[in-house]
Structure 1
Amino acid sequence: MITMNDIVLEGHPTLREVAKEVPLPASEEDKQTLTEMLQYLKNSQDDEMAAQYDLRPGVGLAAPQLGIKKRMLAVHFEDFNGKSYSHGLFNPRIVSHSVELGYLSSGEGCLSVEREVPGYVPRYARITVKATDLNGEEVKLRLKGFAAIVFQHEIDHLNGVMFYDHINHDNPFSEPENAKPVDR
């Protein structure tokens, strides 16, 4: 079982490296790791489990956050319209995106960052992601709003990018051009 002790924190070199493609079909070990990543997110959102195991709640987790340099990510959340997303994905990639941008008015957080980093994080408002799921099936996901933001945050981890790299450092709360908040 993955716990907070397994999650590496900012400053760890793996968080700044580009992760390697996972050879497919995925090995049993990689499937097991990805399954455990997804289970961490589910456990972290269960109040009893989170308290028992001292888990910080999360909606996404990428393998580099565990010190694993592989293109694997897990997401488990409900968007603002009540739509559920629960995926373990190998080699996810953004194949198309909108010109329009979106951001969370409250900013973003990260399981690998134990401090508040205020500011708007501009991201594409809509994206299409292709990946391979835990069953070895090719999936294509059309995402918008909060879901698009979560997936971009996790895919950034696979490319050695942290969410705060996107914040305007001179004026963290200046509204990004061509962007709308997705949570209002």
Structure 2
Amino acid sequence: MIKMEDIIREGHPTLRLVAEEVPFPLSEEDLALGEKMQEFLKNSQDPEMAEKYGLRGGVGIAAPQLDASKRMIAIEVPSLDEDSDVPHISTVMYNPKIISHSVQQACIEEGEGCLSVDRHVPGYVIRHARITITYQDKNGETQKMRLKGYDAIVIQHEIDHLNGIMFYDHINKENPLYAPDGLQLLS
């Protein structure tokens, strides 16, 4: 079971690496890692488990955060958008790629957090409002998903980890609350 002490923190060199593609068929190690990542997210969202093990709540985690430089992310996002095509995202994605995105930008009004960052970093983390991604599931099948709003932001945050990018890299250094024209603020 993954606990908070297993998650590396900002400043660790693995968080700045571009992660390696995951080969298929999956090794037992990669399959087990994906399952443990998914289990961590579910446990972190369960009030009893989170309290018992001191887990911070998370909706996504990337393998590099566990010091494994592999292109794997786990997502556990209850949809906040009633119109969403995807009512709940609960999956492990191998080799995810953003294949298209909107021109419109969005951000979470109160900012983003990260399991690898133990401090509040104020500012708008500007991302694409809508994205289309492809990824491989645990069987090696290619999947395609269209996402918008909060769901799209979560996926972009996790894919950034695979490319050595931290969420605060997107915050305008001179003006952290800079909002370009047309920015969609999500509360």
TM-score range, shorter chain: over 0.9
Query: Match for residue 99 of structure 2?
Result: 95
Q: CA deviation at 1:7?
A: 0.1
Partner letter of residue 63 of structure 1? A
Aligned to 1:56: 56
DSSP-derived class of the 1:5 partner: helix
Q: 2:174 aligns with which of 139, 146, 170?
A: 170
Q: What's 1:42 paired with?
A: 42
Output the amino acid matched with 2:71. R
Q: CA deviation at 1:127?
A: 0.4
- Asked if the contact 2:20–2:71 (Cα under 8 Å) also holds between the matched residues in 1, the reply is yes
Between stretches 54-63 and 173-182, larger displacement belongs to 173-182
Q: Distance in 1 between matches of 2:186 and 2:109?
A: 8
Distance (whole Å) between structure 2 residues aligned to residue 79 and residue 171 of structure 1: 31
User: Secondary structure at 1:128's aligned position in 2?
Assistant: strand
Aligned amino acid, residue 19 of structure 2: A
Q: Give the CA deviation at 1:24.
A: 1.2
C-alpha displacement of 1:153: 0.1
Equivalent-residue separation in structure 2 for 1:177 and 1:21 (angstroms): 36
1:147 maps to which of 146, 151, 155: 151
Contact map agreement 2:131 2:147 (CA 8 A) in 1: yes
Native 8 Å contact 1:100 1:124 kept in 2: yes
- After TM superposition, give the deviation of residue 96 of structure 1 in Å: 0.6
Given candidates 160, 166, 174, the residue that maps to 2:164 is: 160
Percent identity reads 57
Deviation digits for residues 22-80 of structure 1, max 9, x if unmatched? Answer: 01121111011011001100000000000111111000000000000000000101122
Tell whether 2:10 aligns with 1:5: no
5 Å-filtered alignment, 1:109-128, equals: 109-128=113-132
Matched AA of 1:142: R
- RMSD of aligned Cα (Å): 1.0
2:78 is aligned to 78
Q: Which moved more, 1:121-130 or 1:173-182?
A: 173-182
SS in 2 for 1:38: helix
Q: Which amino acid aligns with 1:69?
A: S
Look up the SS of the partner of 2:15 in the other structure. helix
TM superposition score normalised by structure 1: 0.96
Query: Which residue does the alignment assign to 1:129?
Result: 133
**TM-score normalised according to structure 2 size:** 0.95
- In the alignment, the residues of structure 2 paired with residue 127 and residue 147 of structure 1 have an alpha-carbon distance, to the nearest angstrom, of 9
Using the TM superposition, give the Cα deviation of residue 136 of structure 1 relative to its aligned residue in structure 2, in angstroms. 2.6
Q: Distance in 1 between matches of 2:180 and 2:96?
A: 26
Gaps of 5+ in 1: none
What is the identity, as a one-letter code, of the residue corresponding to 1:35?
Answer: E
